Amino acid sequence: MKKVLFICLGNICRSPMAEAVMRDLIKKRGLTSQIKVDSAGTSDYHIDEPPHRGTKAKLQQYGITTSGMRARQLRSSDLHDFDYLVCMDESNVRNTIEMLRAEGDAKVFRFLDLTSHQKDVPDPWYTGDFQETYDLCVEGCEALLEKVLEG
């Protein structure tokens, strides 16, 4: 089984959105027994909170659930427990590498580097643009799923 962890700062906007989108893609393709998905934050700001209301509302528009999702902070065991540590922006790449002492570990990378955008996923906590975040998560998750399936 392949394991994917999405990472952002607070684990209430971007990374849970990516987690929910990826779970939906995996379910639709019948791959739930092959790929496990989770998300975490590099900060402890929102531990045990549900996804942000904007994230939940945007996902509900597309019939995607956030049921049972709660924010958690990145743990040292995540480096060994997951095959892919997918960070929403460069700041969280740096924070993840520092927190997990993962310098040079190829399993830690920026989410949109798998797409033609090759940029950070903007944080809708600040921008208010949950549609842009959703669109980027869909594109990124489709690219990531192909990467996971390739091996």
145 sits in the region (left: phi over 0; alpha: psi -120 to 50; else beta) called alpha
- Which one from 24, 110, 123, 141 is the annotated catalytic residue? 123
CA distances in angstroms from 43 to 21, 75, 79, 115, listed in the order given: 22, 11, 16, 26
Q: Report d(CA 133, CA 67) in Å as an integer.
A: 19
Q: Mark whether 14 is an active-site residue.
A: yes
Please name the residues in contact with 45: beta carbons below 8 A apart, sequence gap of 6 or more.
9, 10
- Which one from 8, 13, 87, 137 is the annotated catalytic residue? 8
Question: Helix, strand or coil for residue 111?
Answer: helix
- Which one from 13, 14, 24, 120 is the annotated catalytic residue? 14
Question: Which residues are the active-site residues?
Answer: 8, 14, 123
